[in-house]
Structure 1
Amino acid sequence: MADGADAFCLREVLVAFTACLGEQREVRVDPYLAGWKGLIRFLNTLGTVFSFISKDAVTKIQILENYRNSDQREKYLTVQSMVEYELANGLVDLKKRSEHPDSGCRTFLRLHRALRWLQMFLEGLRTGEEDSKTSVICSEAYNASLANYHPWIIRKAATVAFYVLPTRNTFLENMNVGTADEAVAMLGDALPFICKVYDITEELYAQHKLLDLP
């Protein structure tokens, strides 16, 4: 397990995703990225199994942080303001990825899809029995979410990698909040916020027909 600044703590993820939600159902970008950095630290505690997801997420976070540090930073304060700004200014490739492959909308969508997988996986860990097979939990979550957007070769490699996942208790211990029961309780607190952030984003992207950006 990593230590120091690189150590994962589920409580920090909970705080970040709680801070994502504005009073008007906005999703704030900065705490969203902070929450994702925490999730990446969690993935990294599990070795190289999830590197194909965590490495891509790191790249996407950097792209969005660059927008937040640019002259247009205020346009990227929330997901809602980002979508409005990029659509109004023709900054999104709606049919073919060509001129704006790293648009904020497209980049955020990739994190959004991966968040769905993590949300389902963590929910499976929370509700599973002590002897539940994490490979099954992870595969079911992956097949119901991210697998739809990956080519066959990646899907196959991921399925094979999931078979060597550690036990459910090892996952819970890696959450750094105490006992397995305490980790389960913390997941119960965290997942509704992650789910709400996901649902608001999904609704926004569906409204603007952005869920299938190339």
Structure 2
Amino acid sequence: MGEFADEKPLLKIADAFKELAAVVNSQNADVDVASFSRACSLVSPLFGCLGIAFKFAEMDYVAKVHDLAEASKSIQTLQSMIDQDVQANTVRKAGSHTRNLLRVKRGIDMVRVLFEQIIVTEGNSLRGPASKAYAQVFAPYHGWAIRKAVSAGMYALPTKEQLLRKLNEDESSAKLQMQHYVMSSAPLILYIDKLFNSRGLGIDW
């Protein structure tokens, strides 16, 4: 039995992100903070399942998703959340909602690349997919010490079989849900990037 009793976390994640993608792809795209933070919180346990290599990501991601969930009590949309920080000149301030949004976006992007790689990689090892996902999304923003710790932690990753067991999935159902997540998270990530770039904030900080 996996860690989630009878739950199917991958199915929950895929469904939540499909709903967000539908909003992004509709004409009046304006993602609300509450449903975004709820969907992102479903991803949190995945980092835990990957073990020590992604411990830094799990702690950082969980805290920042929690901040966005708190923000959703008083702020309706991601757009207005960023605009409030722009007006207050706090966008780049540590702990600002906008800065936290950028960090959370990297978390869901890392999982997107990880799933993409798992789908196309033969064999039972997750080291290749996890290394590529980390290198592509997180490594450019991390100092030497974190990169070294992550690299060492890659040797303690679960096998693909162990990961699927933790998630209560077999390979074919897992690949299907991973594919759904990859397809629905991509437009959402682009949407968030556009929110930043259209305000001249950039996304590389």
Is the TM value for this pair above 0.5? Answer: yes
**1:11–1:186 Cα contact (<8 Å) kept:** yes
Please provide the CA RMSD for this pair: 2.2
Q: Which amino acid aligns with 1:3?
A: F
**Matching residue's letter, 1:124:** Q
Q: Show structure 1 runs of 5+ residues with no match.
A: none
Q: Contact between 1:135 and 1:164, CA under 8 Å: does it hold in 2?
A: no
Asked whether the 8 Å contact 1:109–1:211 carries over to 2, the reply is no
Paired with 1:78 and 1:173, the residues of 2 have a C-alpha distance of 36
- Check 1:189–1:3 CA distance in 2 against 1; reply closer, same or farther (3 A cut): closer
Counterpart AA for 1:31: S
Distance change (3 Å), C-alpha of 1:8 and 1:48:
farther
Amino acid at match of 2:4: D
**Which residue does 1:18 correspond to in 2?**
18
Structure-1 separation of matches of 2:204 and 2:89: 12
CA distance in 2, matches of 1:36, 1:213: 21
Confirm or deny that 1:123 pairs with 2:116: yes
1:102 lines up with 2:95 in the alignment: yes
Q: Larger relative CO (CA 8 A, sep 6+): 1 or 2?
A: 2
- State the Cα deviation string for residues 165-185 of structure 1 (Å, max 9, x = none): 122233333333x42111111
Amino acid at match of 1:184: K
Task: Quote the residue 2:3 is aligned against.
Answer: 2
Match of 1:45 among 27, 45, 49: 49
How far did residue 47 of structure 1 move? 3.3
Query: Residue 32 in 1 paired to residue 49 in 2?
Result: no
CA contact (8 A) 2:33 2:71 kept: no
Q: Report the counterpart of residue 210 of structure 1 in structure 2.
A: 201
Cα offset, 1:155, TM superposition: 0.6
User: Aligned-pair distance for 1:201?
Assistant: 0.7
Moved more, 166-175 or 142-151: 166-175
Tell me whether 1:55 sits opposite 2:59 in the alignment: yes
Q: Work out the CA distance in 1 between the residues paired with 2:147 and 2:4.
A: 31
- 1:92 paired residue number: 90
TM-score scaled by length of structure 1: 0.83
TM-score, with normalisation over the residues of structure 2?
A: 0.86
Count of paired positions:
200
1:120-147 Cα distance to aligned partner (Å, 9 max, x none): 0111112221x15311211111111111
**1:174-213: CA deviation from partner (whole Å, max 9, x where unpaired):** 333x421111112112211111111111122122232357
Give 1:39's aligned amino acid. V
Q: Percent identity, please.
A: 22
Give deviations 1:147-169, integer Å, cap 9, x for gaps: 11111100110011012212223
Say which structure is richer in helix: 2
